[in-house]
Structure 1
């Protein structure tokens, strides 16, 4: 398809942001915020942009203002733990925010790290991976995390998958009603039960949909916006597994309006992080 044909196609979308992207190859009028990222190598596969400095180069090229990250080492390395994200926050304090990852099978440092949590200014919440760790979201080992996060009004990003016994959206709903001061982010928006996830985000004030993986499905972003509003949808990509522009295209060409696009790729993230006490967040 020629550039003229792509521009013509964009015009039917009525999005000036989509038109800007087609014409220039990036968005310069508004920065992007990615709420679901990782970093570092991952066993069994090759991720060409997994190194932190390479990720920063991509962020600069694609006008990604900042990301919230949970490194692979924190997810799967009980020795490394959360050391990598603390180093990244220190090196790039205006570009990197961090989720503290809790592996329930290796929680020996939890109380020590929670005691230091508030001194790590880049921490904005927690990341849980129940399906991979084979431990349910409502398990007793997570209770301390929920209480801690609820006291501070933090984010909690959990992997969710439909028809899972470890992290179904129904379980998020129960926790969200119990811990009303936590902002629960449904990582991947529970593929297979996304309709339930959308309804949960619509009816539960502290539950948000996250686009990573699910947002690529044709018509899904429009459905989320129509039924739960764009204020309940967050931009996430799994970067460096996927280039952020891949998911950005799904948002820009979803048929939603520019105000909704701005909410998803920038404004909602800023609003959520500004709601966290004692966290300095760029606008």
Structure 2
């Protein structure tokens, strides 16, 4: 719906972006995908889409990294190094092709390129808490990294029970629940209330009418991060859904960028990005 009561919504509808309300995107992909056409499939076209919507920074993992990590990891690193102020990579944790020594060293040598790890347990059919993942969790906890994981309500691999095992043992990392345990909204809220290092991420949440309203009314807006699974969903679709939800403009600003600034403040490189975007990321 068009939200006539929101000053922020009116400015977005008129200009397609609002300079003093930047977007921080915590869930994106990159590159082609077999069997489908994605018009935004390179680092360059992704940055172009970001410019159109006022997205200041995107954290991503490529499709190649998910399914062919031997080549995808280097492609992700290359993209993050080419656009250091716009793109940051999640290092994929491919449960069937793990090499902790090499993977962790890659992050040590390129700390400004990575925000942390990406898990996709439902794809690999390996639970979050599986023993082979422990070196990655320990490293993320020791270095206070972000970890984005696909999560889904009722999943034996990445549902609320699996996530709680991680949150209980590793309090110094920040776990981003991709899709916010989709469908298990009450469980997502309860888990976030118990663990301050859990943030709920909005990819695919916005396809369920009223879900965001429920999360904010029961949890508040301070623990929710913006993401749309770019290029699978367009930025303006996700932005419009947040603008159309029954929220205040302060809630929307929290979701679009304030909460993201809080979790990114742990990285030394973010101070430079804030300085270069002093008119918006403040």
Query: Structure 2 length normalisation: TM-score?
Result: 0.92
Q: Given that residues 216 and 247 in structure 1 are in contact (C-alpha distance below 8 angstroms), is that contact kept between their aligned partners in structure 2?
A: no
Q: Tell me which of 25, 32, 35 is aligned to 1:41.
A: 32
1:141 and 2:132 equivalent?
yes
The C-alpha deviation readout for 1:244-278, integer Å capped at 9, x for no partner, is: 111111111102111111110111111101124x4
2:279 aligned partner: none
Q: Tell me which of 262, 265, 272 is aligned to 1:271.
A: 262
SS of the aligned residue for 2:51 comes to helix
1:185 and 2:176 equivalent?
yes
Q: CA RMSD in A?
A: 1.4
Q: How does 1:57-76 map to 2 (within 5 A)?
A: 57-76=48-67
Structure 2: runs of 5 or more not aligned: 275-282
Distance 1:115 1:79, change over 3 A: closer
Name the stretch that deviates more: 39-48 or 111-120. 111-120
Q: Given that residues 3 and 10 in structure 2 are in contact (C-alpha distance below 8 angstroms), is that contact kept between their aligned partners in structure 1?
A: yes
Structure 1: runs of 5 or more not aligned: 1-5
Cα distance between partner residues in 1 of 2:243 and 2:225: 14
2:3 aligned partner: 10
Q: Following superposition, which runs of at least 4 residues in structure 1 exceed 3 angstroms of deviation?
A: 278-281
Number of residue pairs aligned between Structure 1 and Structure 2: 272
1:254 aligned partner: 245
1:130 aligned partner: 121
1:115 aligned partner: 105
Distance 1:81 1:241, change over 3 A: same
Cα distance between partner residues in 2 of 1:264 and 1:216: 17
Name the stretch that deviates more: 233-242 or 218-227. 218-227
The C-alpha deviation readout for 1:219-260, integer Å capped at 9, x for no partner, is: 111211121111100001000111111111111110211111
The C-alpha deviation readout for 1:8-30, integer Å capped at 9, x for no partner, is: x532xx22110111222322331
Name the stretch that deviates more: 68-77 or 188-197. 188-197
2:84 aligned partner: 93
Q: Tell me which of 4, 9, 12 is aligned to 1:21.
A: 12
1:103 and 2:94 equivalent?
yes
Query: Structure 1 length normalisation: TM-score?
Result: 0.92
Cα distance between partner residues in 1 of 2:59 and 2:21: 18
